[in-house]
Amino acid sequence: MLHIRPFTPEDQAAARHLILQGLGSHFGWIDESRNPDLDDIQHHYLEQGSLFVVAEQEGKIVGTGALVAEGPGVSRMVRISVSLEHQRQGIGRRLVNHLVQQAWAQGNHRIVVETNLDWEDAIGLYEAAGFSQYDHDEESVYLSLDHN
């Protein structure tokens, strides 16, 4: 059974590894210097007032996701990641839905997310959850979801 819960300091190593593994799988390499937030998730997210959650199944962390304040009434969804061996099981969708509900409960009226233009699975995940593309550049696509 999948359980989505708040991040604890004990999750640090597993969450960092899972996210970097996903990035490495997609890009074919990992530049850890581009991900300093993963060195101390407690400090970079929780102590800054952000929400960081993990998806746990049978005692193992299989997914991550976070919400950070973007501005008044707007949150940014970041670090959505599912372990390679657990992809295509609905875990990413459950993480996104959980974070959307948390954003609405916090009083936000809009959620934004950015992903790489060529990361079709991620774009599909966000669009299936109701997000719409509002902009793009040569590297990224930007999507948003508004609360009715």
Say which CATH number the domain at 21 has.
Answer: 3.40.630.30
Q: Which residues contact 133 (CB under 8 A, 6 or more apart)?
A: 123, 127, 141, 142, 143
**Looking at the 3D structure of the chain, how many domains does it have?**
1
Q: pLDDT 10s per residue in the chain (148 long)?
A: 899 999 999 999 999 998 888 776 656 667 767 778 888 999 999 999 999 999 999 999 999 999 999 999 999 999 999 988 888 889 999 999 999 999 999 999 999 999 988 888 889 999 999 999 999 999 899 999 999 7
Beta bridge mates, 56: 3, 61
Domain of 114 in residue numbering reads as 2-146
Query: Considering only CA atoms, which of 116, 82, 76 is closest in space to residue 99?
Result: 76
Q: By CB neighbour count within 10 A (0-12 exposed, 13-18 middle, 19+ buried), where does 93 fall?
A: middle
- Residue 138 neighbours by CB distance under 10 Å: 5
